Amino acid sequence: MTNYVFPENFWWGSAASGPQTEGRVAGDGKGENIWDHWYDLEPEKFFNQVGPSKTSQVYTKYKEDVALMKATGHNTFRTSIQWSRLLPNGTGKVNEQAVTFYRTYFEELIENGIEPFVNLFHFDMPMPLQEKGGWLARETVDAYAEYAKTCFELFGDLVKKWFTHNEPIVPVEGGYLYQFHYPNHVNFKEAVQVGFHENLASAKAIQIYHETGQDGEIGIILNLTPSYPRDENNAEDVKAAAIADAFFNRSFLDPAVKGEFPQELIDIVKELDIMPVMEEGDLTIIQENKVDLLGINYYQPRRIKAKETPIDKDRAPLPDDYFDNYDMPNKKMNPYRGWEIYEKGIYDILTNTRENYGNIKCFISENGMGVEGEERYVNEQGMIEDDYRIEFVTDHLKYVHQAIQEGTNCLGYHMWTCMDNWSWTNAYKNRYGFIAVDLDQDGKRTIKKSGHWFKEVATNNGFDA
């Protein structure tokens, strides 16, 4: 039996986002974003045709939700401001109802001893900006900088931990490579431009935050997927894994923490002649405005092997032309989400930040297990007995603990997520929360077994196992 004790003032809590939790009510002044638009266009793309208006309705239930967060041991909680709620046109006029909502919500959290961590962009491009190209357009970088400044001015007195993006590689992958986000393009050149603009926008927000004398910290949230080669002794596999790492991790990690892009990536985009359009001074802005804090989302690793199938020369190149995914036998899987469960991945990421990224201040900003059909685990008292989730979190926390023991500057652990929530095209297919939401009973909330367990862990600042 080991006693896993975490550092003093460790952040225990969870993460969510505005678009996945808020909901809309008549006359709330929210503008349209890409999710509202895409759902209207192609509802069949969404699991059970459930769209972005059927969220857990934090907009009206925030008091109850904050009380539940307190009851499950939160001392910190991350959500995002919805750009299209605050600035319905993406730029210009502020929606005063949004200001009231967010201020009241953040105050409620603070009054209950829960520090709000706020993220500026969680996949929710306002439609008026998307119509002009979204992240492909330079204009969006300027609009985002204005939006960031507005948020700092309006909420900077309440919020002391800001994040510029959540998983910025996901809009690149989903929107411009693999078709799981609007606008569903498949175009490597566009993907590179979008990634560059997101990086630049992040650096600009950091610059504004520091130049306007805000007194908190600002970081970025990245989903890091350690890339393991099929065979560590096979140079081709190792090279392919390094390229996947450059595409999907270092494309944002290096500029955010080191202020520069990885050379492997630059070489490839130059060779393919798909360098992004830049303006003079852009690279200096990225170089000079690094993050104070890094949020790490970890769900699964990548298993990579050297390319075995020939590249189709008749179509435009894609990142996947540089590696193949390796289906490793006997790996542990979450059968519902189809994602591998590899607990040690979290330790490898934390060790990497310590050894190669200056031991930057970091925290686990998302980790969790999505499960389908959890109703079958409801006990006689009406509580979901999600022992699998307790095991999942325990196993990951042990590795977080080990990395901290070895000197990694990891300040907290946030679960994805608190309340079961709407998850983009997967809608409510996989439930992640430690609080169940019954959509048939007006979103009735019930704490799961994992929620009660998490409360104990947070209160004791650790656990025995």
Residue 430 in the binding site for ligand BGP (CB under 6 A): yes
| Interacting residues of 113 by C-beta distance below 8 A, sequence separation 6+ | 70, 75
Residue 187: count other Cβ atoms within 10 Å of its Cβ: 16
The footprint of ligand BGP on residues 357-376 (CB under 6 A) is: 366, 370
Residue 80 in the binding site for ligand BGP (CB under 6 A): no
The piece of 62-70, 103-111, 422-430, 443-451 that touches ligand BGP (CB under 6 A) is 422-430
Q: For residues 465 and 462, what is the distance between their CA atoms, to the nearest angstrom?
A: 10
Query: Is 413 or 424 the residue whose CB approaches ligand BGP more closely?
Result: 424
Residue 167 in the binding site for ligand BGP (CB under 6 A): yes
Distance of closest approach, residue 455 Cβ to ligand BGP, in angstroms: 22
Distance of closest approach, residue 94 Cβ to ligand BGP, in angstroms: 25
The piece of 79-87, 208-216, 388-396, 419-427 that touches ligand BGP (CB under 6 A) is 419-427
Q: For residues 17 and 33, what is the distance between their CA atoms, to the nearest angstrom?
A: 14
- What string marks each residue from 1 to 30 as x (binds ligand BGP by CB under 6 A) or -? ----------------x--x----------
Distance of closest approach, residue 421 Cβ to ligand BGP, in angstroms: 8
Chain centre distance of CA 200:
18
Query: Is 55 or 193 the residue whose CB approaches ligand BGP more closely?
Result: 55
Q: For residues 241 and 121, what is the distance between their CA atoms, to the nearest angstrom?
A: 29
Structure tokens at 293: 């804090």
Query: Is 366 or 386 the residue whose CB approaches ligand BGP more closely?
Result: 366
Q: For residues 465 and 397, what is the distance between their CA atoms, to the nearest angstrom?
A: 11
Question: Does residue 366 have an active-site annotation?
Answer: yes
Angstrom CA distances, 325 to 169, 229, 363, 432, 461, stand at: 18, 9, 28, 26, 38
Distance of closest approach, residue 366 Cβ to ligand BGP, in angstroms: 6
Q: For residues 102 and 62, what is the distance between their CA atoms, to the nearest angstrom?
A: 10
Q: For residues 133 and 124, what is the distance between their CA atoms, to the nearest angstrom?
A: 14
Query: Is 337 or 448 the residue whose CB approaches ligand BGP more closely?
Result: 337
**Cα–Cα nearest to 424, from 384, 370, 365, 363:** 370
Residue 416 in the binding site for ligand BGP (CB under 6 A): yes
If binding means CB under 6 A, how many residues of this protein chain bind ligand BGP?
14
Question: In which region does residue 286 sit, left (phi positive, over 0), alpha (psi from -120 to 50) or beta (all else)?
Answer: alpha
Query: Is 50 or 208 the residue whose CB approaches ligand BGP more closely?
Result: 50
The residue count of the chain comes to 465
- Pick from 95, 166, 199, 227 the residue near ligand BGP by CB under 6 A: 166
Determine the residue with CB nearest ligand BGP. Answer: 423
The footprint of ligand BGP on residues 196-235 (CB under 6 A) is: 223
What is the DSSP track for 15-77? E--HHHH----TT-----BHHHHHHHH-GGGSGGG--TTSS--HHHHHHHHHHHHHHTT-SEE
Q: Given 22, 167, 366, 374, which residue is catalytic?
A: 366
Q: Which residues bind ligand BGP (CB under 6 A)?
A: 17, 20, 166-167, 223, 297, 337, 366, 370, 416, 423-424, 426, 430
Indicate which residues carry an active-site annotation: 366
